[in-house]
Every structure is written in C-alpha cells, then in structure tokens.
Amino acid sequence: MTTSGTYTFAPSLGELVLHAYGIIGLRGTSLMQEHYQDARMATNLMLATWGNQGVNLWAVDLVTVPLVASQATYDVGANTVVILDAYMQINDGVSDPIDRIILPVSRTEYASYPNKAQEGFTTTFWFDRLIAPTVTLWPVPDGTSAQYLKYYRVRRIQDSNLANGENVEIPYLWLEAFADGLAYRLAKIWKPEMAAALKLVAKETYDIAATQNTETSNFYVIPMLSGYYR
C-alpha cells in the first residue's frame, strides 16, 4: 500500500469558502466581492457561536497572574470566554511552590460575604463576565509570601481573514464541520431554498466533531451510602 506519509492538509479560509460556495451550487468563477465579504462575516459569527456552544479544547490555555497584597480584583483578558479551573500557587522562596485549587462562586454568593476585604489564604474566585472582565478573589491575598493566581481559560478563537492565505484556527477534526456550517450560513443569504437541508447537515457534522472535543480522563461518582445503613 502506498500512502502520502504526510499530515499537512490545512486548507486556507479562502479554500474553505470556495468549497462552501460549491456546496450551495455557486462556482468560484461566479463569485463577486460581496460573496467574500459575506463569507468573512459568516465565518467569524459562526466561530462566536461555537464559543457559546461549549469548551473548545484547542482554545484553552493557562494564565498566570502575580498577586498583590490586599488587592482583591484583577483584570482578565478581553478574549477570555470563561475560566475553567483556577488554583493558587504559593512560593515562599525556600521550598518548592505549592498549588491549591480554589473554587468559583456566583455573584450572589460573593455579595453575601460580610467582609469582602478580609485577608487570608484565597479559597474562592468570582469571574465577572463584563466586556472588560475581571476576577475577584476571596479572602483577599495577604502578601505573606509570593502568590500567583493560575487559571485555565477558554479564549476566543482567533479572527479569520481571507487575505494572505490565512488558515482558520481550528484543528483538522473540525474542518468538515466548519465547511458545512459555513455553507449553511451562506445558503441563508444566497440560496435560502437550500438552508433548511444544509442546517441538518451542519448539525450532524458539528455533533460528530463535538463528541471528540472532550478530555479522555475518567470521571468517578462515589455516592455516600453510609446514611442508608444504620
């Protein structure tokens, strides 16, 4: 058996746009500037929707924030969609750094704390999802040693542009879901009679890709049975 031996298939956004238009029956030679403008807009709106639909593992990274004594609130990058897991790292300069998980709380729970300026070892965080988002810690770092807030976040998928042969920031396994989703959105504009059928196709390929967009670690649930038996 002869195979290519390569793993370099990575079509540009322009190639994917041409493929999506081909799905709805519009050939490359018939496309005008407005077709490409619509495609760029549809692409970035679709990626925004994907950000709403779940955790895109390829857009997860680790952020480290040096903490300041008596400061509770810190800026979060505007390209942050959601904070997943957070932990405190304590470094006394003598022994190895120690990491301890901290837990998220809601706005309501944070509002219920009677002394929001209380200092101590941080155990919770409140992520305020503003246009310019922030994260607020409680208890407030006391500065007894060097402390860092570390958190995994889902960030926005990078903007997609047609110029210069740019690629879309998606992994190989999502290429067909992207093409079918884009075809459906372009059909709504240029071939509305095809939109309903393409919506079903787009959902099917999205769901297939989404089933692989999960971590493979085991999850255990152990019920507390002692209360059932005396």
If asked whether residues 151 and 163 sit together in one domain, one would say: no
97 is a domain residue = yes
Is 148 inside any structural domain?
A: yes
Task: Extract the tokens encoding 209.
Answer: 């890709």
Same domain, 88 and 67: yes
Is residue 133 located within the same domain as residue 75? yes
Same domain? For 20 and 70 the reply is no
In a domain, 212, yes or no: no
Please give the chain's pLDDT, 230 residues, in tens.
899 999 999 999 999 999 999 999 999 999 999 999 999 999 999 999 999 998 899 999 999 999 999 999 999 999 999 999 999 999 887 788 899 999 999 999 999 999 999 999 999 999 999 999 999 999 999 988 899 999 999 999 999 999 999 999 999 999 999 999 999 999 999 999 999 999 999 999 999 999 988 887 766 666 655 554 45
Give the span between the Cα atoms of 149 and 136, in whole angstroms: 11
Give the structural domain span for 19.
Answer: 8-48+159-171+194-203
Is residue 20 within 8 A of residue 182, CB to CB? The reply is: yes
Indicate the pTM of the whole model: 0.87
Q: Are residues 63 and 146 in the same domain?
A: yes
Is residue 227 a part of any domain in this protein?
Answer: no
Q: What's the distance, CA 108 to chain centroid?
A: 25
Do residue 43 and residue 129 come from a single domain? no
Domain count along the chain: 2
**Cα–Cα dist 127/108, whole Å:** 12
Residue 3 CB contacts under 8 Å (≥ 6 apart), including other chains = none
Question: Are residues 140 and 164 part of one domain?
Answer: no
List CB contacts of 114: < 8 A, sequence separation 6 or more: none
| Contact indicator for 88, 121 with CB cutoff of 8 Å | yes
Residue 180 placed within a domain: no
Spatial distance between the Cα atoms of 152 and 84, rounded to a whole number of angstroms: 5
Same domain, 13 and 75: no
